[in-house]
Structure 1
Amino acid sequence: MKRRSLLRAAGLAAGAAAVPALGAAAPAAAAQGVRSVRTPRTRAKSVTGAAARAVRADFPVEYVGVSWNGPRRGAGIRLIRQDGSRGEWTALRPVCGAGADGDGTHPAQSVSVLVPAGGAAGYELRLPDGATGVRSTAIDTVNGPSTEVAVAAKARRLGDVEYITRAGWGADESLRFKADGTENTPQTYYPAQTMTVHHTAGANGDLDPAATIRAYYHLHAVANDWGDIGYHFLIDEAGRIYEGRYSGTDGIPAHDTTGKMVTAFHAAGFNSGNLGVALLGTFTDQSPTAAARDSLTLLLAALSAEHGFDPQAAVTFVNPVNGVTRNVQMISGHRDWLTTECPGTTLYGDLPALRADVAAALSGS
């Protein structure tokens, strides 16, 4: 397996050995043993058009995914409880500008959101005037019949940074495939150029983040028809790091064996060569937990070491698929690429300090 050395002539100090290369992953599962875990099978009901505005399901609805084209403001949801009563209307906070790259001439106009529903019987939606292409999906990743999968008995690592594999959070790999057995969006790989920070704009205080990630996976892969989850990595409030976009079975998440990065779907028009990390939650007027912030720092430091990035550099990104360019910081926020509130005003304001912290982790200070 070809892997690049951590210590680079490009100026990483000797202290950078504190952030080992990604190639220093844990041994293969066969060598370290496996254990069996049971994960609830995802149940979902997707509805389009006018019918998507009022939906009932024959299973407890734990999450509702909604997407539409048009205005971002003015959408709301009201849950229908199991006893038939209705909750209060609450505003939807969409995350926008995700999806495949396309030709780069028309950035995505679609918006999408995932909201927890707490086992509701159904829901009603209010969407802004002019909304088209409406789709809503009732999702249950908690209560369905479970399936047994084998996962590594010991934590997998990116250097010294532990992460949870796709199998570990319960990814159903069949969701990446169409009914005829062909892969919906086969992996493509390009050299990494930059890294982008997101928030999922979901609930804070999440008690079951793996279930939430399974819900995002279904929303992105199936309802949005991307073929996989949109991010390369996700981080929960406890600081646990989760493997995102599928990149093969070589044990090095987000990369192929030559060190190129798999293309994901987190910044439409600017995906290829752009690594996306999402923190679970909403950080518009509150900060991530200390554990999540620390894990974000260490993950970005490990990735910077692997690719020889200067975390505090300004760069010109060039999408190898469509030639679209953008002048950004090496560590940017989603709103630096497209019109969106992501990664939240508070988290976005912390990015200069984050860049400095990642640089300090690289230098061992």
Structure 2
Amino acid sequence: MRDGKGFPLAALLAGTLLASTAQAAEQCAQSALAEHPPAINFRVDNDLFGGAQQDQGYTNGAMFTLVSPNLKDYTDDPCLPRLARWTNRHLERLHPGGFEQQNMIFSFGQGLFTPTDNTRSDLIRDDRPYAAALLVNFGYNARSGAHLRTTQLAVGMVGPAAMGKQVQQAVHSVLGDEKFKGWDNQLHNEPVFKLVHERMRRWPAEPSTVGWGWDAISHWGGALGNLATYANAGGEVRFGWKLPDDFGSSPMRPAGENTAPTRHGRATGWSSHLFLTSDARWVVRDITLDGNTFRTSHRVDKRPFVGDIGYGVAVMRGRWKFALARYHRTREFEGQKETPVFGSFTVSRTL
């Protein structure tokens, strides 16, 4: 059982992230854009929901995300804290322009990847490498009506510096679970980056924010970097009561789960909906399967085409939103014994 392995590392950052968000909210209090308040999301991914024989692959992830309110620009808007404005001046090439609305996100997270057999300390050559990734993400969203563009830059580390072994073993010790004995075979330390760009379109353009309704959101894009390089496309369908004015409820999407700019804010009272999402990827590189870029390391023969299907439910009340999803993924490398299944839970609160 892997429940909650990302909590110890994430908890160390909670105070800092909340303080930064509170400072931004205070600076933005007099802005005309304050009617679209900032938000904070906490997401946990875990193979606990996969059932028997699913203690493998992408085994756990945890991420904190700070979402800005709608912004007039990325470098001078008082809704952003000073550090964010300074960072954005160095990333101006990533900023979209010429759109009706825009916002920024910042996130910090960790992901863990393990083979199936936790009892072996030797190198398991026919299963995926042990790997951990520790990443910081800067994201920029720009919206015009039913169209959205999102660009994200992720930078961080893969290898022992990402502290996957320490986090997993510490939590397993607390829970009394068996420890994975093969972390000495994990990928070597390597700085990594991934530049992601996606474009989205929603039908109908105006969602039913009162009463029952449905919508569909398409996406296409890709990523470039030594962490991952791929092209992808897919879509999401939602049905429910008072649909949110955003671009999807899947927390795995770059602009999903309460991170895109909104025009109408959240509905009053209770609202909820079901969602079904899909994504297909042509994968050129995945460091967690291909191994280190500049050093010899464990690797497997990845499959070039991978698909995901996910489904879940989102519930909103006042400032709070909860989303629970389950994902089924096709096999990612030759000889993989089981198709991956994992769950994701997100808690979101506007400030």
Shorter chain as denominator, the TM-score bin is under 0.3
Higher strand proportion (structure 1 or 2): 2
Query: Could you say which structure has the greater relative contact order, defined with CA pairs below 8 angstroms and 6 or more residues apart?
Result: 1
Under a length normalisation based on structure 1, what TM-score does the superposition of the two structures give? 0.27
